[in-house]
Structure 1
């Protein structure tokens, strides 16, 4: 059994270092960056008073689809996301054999979690690309979950998990752990300094936005009202209605745009 595990681990490592794996990561990161830049633009428009677009992943995809050759771009995003799914699942196999102690479990679970996030975005991109009218909202999922046994506790647990992930992103941004994704050239010189700031501001802003989403889930669990939950668009609207809301929303949106630029930096300076 140990021999089979070692063989799988070796195959995973070879595949991860292959040129095709690197290309998949590059294409996926460019696609992910485009989505974040579009979300940032919609958030900035919202901060400036334009409420016509939804500052969310689905809203960004619909916005892209409305541009010239937009559906082609959305198809590219879909392909990029599915490539990232394959890459993260491959990383999960490699990390399962490479890490020790608690990381032996945490690292693969994190990889699979990211693969799910990329996969859902890829599926959404396919729906938008083919013109599907399906727009299932986060509140619909929350209501379904709320109706299950111990539903309120489940929704609350989801909220706490989302808050935790937001905090994790903020920690990576503040500690600059994200630099491990860049090769030495991507961390040096003036360009490296710019990438560092893109990553720092991007992770902090995205972490704050995601944490707000988690807070909305927790409120929904406390009040037993699914309508209090919501995705990124609802979270940004919540920020907008706080004191100095437009200024805060503008800053967060710019930060999300920085995250998108950092995705481009990862695509250019892949560290495998």
Structure 2
């Protein structure tokens, strides 16, 4: 007689699968690859910062992740490097997913632990999108464009799309504000183990993190405002991703100087990512 699995068997299988996922995510190869992924994000932000400065000085180009990936693809060995980025980003997705479920045991406060898990889940989604974008660029040899506008158009096309877009815009605006505030308060150091870093590296880590988080927060906040404008005008091209946000900054009074400052700040975030790749608690 064939025994039918009961709820206990299912529960045991679930626990085994969970332990297996944790073991894989905490294994040395995945931890090393996750650090590669964090450093790869630094490369992207250095390129985005450089592209933002180029836009500020009047040249064309796409100052966002797709623009940065396209710049990498244009190099002789760019496609090979893009596949390295894909592997690193995929490892970060696995690590962040497991952290969202079981991570941050070193945090004593339950509310703070829950907040960090939610943030980790969001980062898993972001890195998954980066992995897909890098893989797509590696396969085609060029980066896509206009993705932000298409996403906004799809959102506006839903029932109640204008209200939904405004709400998403408010969420993005708040997210940008939180990121800038976290940078000012140096909250990013809570997830780092700097015990092995000397005082000079600690200062560089703190300053690049502060400037980088604030600059990214400003850019993300502008994107949130543009989503609201897109909803009110029913024009999805008003919110065509980070590229639109940065180019909107350039159109403001003293916008060239403002965009150069933000571009340099985003590049500082890239430098911070290299340090974070070394000192982040990848556990």
Q: TM-score, normalised by structure 2?
A: 0.86
Q: What stretches of structure 1 of length at least 5 have no aligned partner?
A: none
Bigger mean CA deviation after superposition, 236-245 or 92-101? 92-101
- How many Å separate the matches in 2 of 1:150 and 1:104? 34
* Counterpart position of 1:224: 234
- How many Å separate the matches in 1 of 2:16 and 2:187? 30
Question: Does the 8 A contact of 1:36 with 1:256 survive in 2?
Answer: yes
- What does residue range 102-141 of structure 1 map to in structure 2 within 5 Å? 102-103=111-112, 106-131=115-140, 134-141=144-151
Question: Does the 8 A contact of 2:79 with 2:141 survive in 1?
Answer: no
- How many Å separate the matches in 1 of 2:127 and 2:148? 17
Bigger mean CA deviation after superposition, 101-110 or 255-264? 101-110
1:70 deviates by 1.1
Counterpart check, 1:269 vs 2:283 = no
1:241 to 251, 260, 263: 251
2:90 to 82, 87, 111: 82
Question: Does the 8 A contact of 1:22 with 1:270 survive in 2?
Answer: no
* Counterpart position of 1:54: 62
Query: Which whole-Å deviations, capped at 9, do the CAs of 1:67-105 have from their partners, x for residues lacking one?
Result: 221111111122211111111101011149888755565
Bigger mean CA deviation after superposition, 185-194 or 198-207? 185-194
Larger Rg: 2
Coordinate RMSD, CA, aligned: 2.6
- How many Å separate the matches in 1 of 2:182 and 2:196? 17
The change in CA–CA distance for 1:6 and 1:130 in structure 2 (over 3 A counts) is closer
Bigger mean CA deviation after superposition, 107-116 or 95-104? 95-104
The change in CA–CA distance for 1:164 and 1:99 in structure 2 (over 3 A counts) is farther
Counterpart check, 1:31 vs 2:12 = no
- How many Å separate the matches in 2 of 1:5 and 1:192? 42
- How many Å separate the matches in 2 of 1:261 and 1:103? 27
Counterpart check, 1:41 vs 2:50 = yes
- What does residue range 161-172 of structure 1 map to in structure 2 within 5 Å? 161-172=171-182
1:30 deviates by 1.1
The change in CA–CA distance for 1:65 and 1:107 in structure 2 (over 3 A counts) is same
* Counterpart position of 2:77: 69
1:153 deviates by 0.8
Q: TM-score, normalised by structure 1?
A: 0.89
1:269 deviates by 1.9
* Counterpart position of 1:176: 186
1:3 deviates by 8.5
Counterpart check, 1:202 vs 2:197 = no
Counterpart check, 1:143 vs 2:153 = yes
The change in CA–CA distance for 1:215 and 1:123 in structure 2 (over 3 A counts) is same
1:250 deviates by 0.5
Question: Does the 8 A contact of 1:167 with 1:207 survive in 2?
Answer: yes
- How many Å separate the matches in 1 of 2:36 and 2:124? 15
